Amino acid sequence: MHENNFTKKNKLKGVVATQQLFAKAKQKKEFPLKSFYTINYNNKELTKFGVSAPKKIFKRAVDRNKIKRLLREAIRKNKNILSSQAYCIDKIMIIYISNSIPNAIEIEQKIISLFSSLVLEIQNLSSNNSIENEN
């Protein structure tokens, strides 16, 4: 099976799962993207992704759907950046917060930047956890 697929197993679904994510999530902002994520320290599962474009900013469903489609495509291409870590991001919700409709290249660059900064943050957390475990 191809690793670049974005299947049902990769989608963040359900009201309960989404509420749990927002209740205990950390935030990371990489304008025009804002992400909420949780880290799974126990085992390495598939990361569940959710995308959103707010109705308050984009009144037309066509615009919201285009943004979500672009976000999902960029995630599909670059999700391997997140899967190469010892600790896994369990769930992540990415929200587009700008007023303008982006192009695919801009979104992909921002997704890569966001995922790279998340990887650095996870590495810092894992090194801090390993130092605490040694003490």
Do 35 and 104 touch, CB atoms closer than 8 A?
Answer: no
- Residue 78 above 50 pLDDT? yes
- Please write the tens of the pLDDT for every residue from 49-68: 999 999 999 999 999 999 99
Provide the whole-model pTM: 0.84
Query: Does 3 fall in a domain?
Result: no
In a domain, 75, yes or no: yes
- What does 44-84 look like in DSSP terms, one character per residue? --PPEEEEE--TTT--SHHHHHHHHHHHHHHHHHHGGGGGG
Domain annotation covers residue 85: yes
CB atoms within 10 A of CB 88: 19
Q: Which residues contact 127 (CB under 8 A, 6 or more apart)?
A: none
Domain with residue 45: its CATH number is 3.30.230.10
Domain span at residue 46? 10-130
Q: How many domains does the chain have?
A: 1
| Closest alpha carbon to 11 in 67, 45, 50 | 50
107: in domain: yes
CA–CA gap between residue 61 and residue 42 (Å, rounded): 39
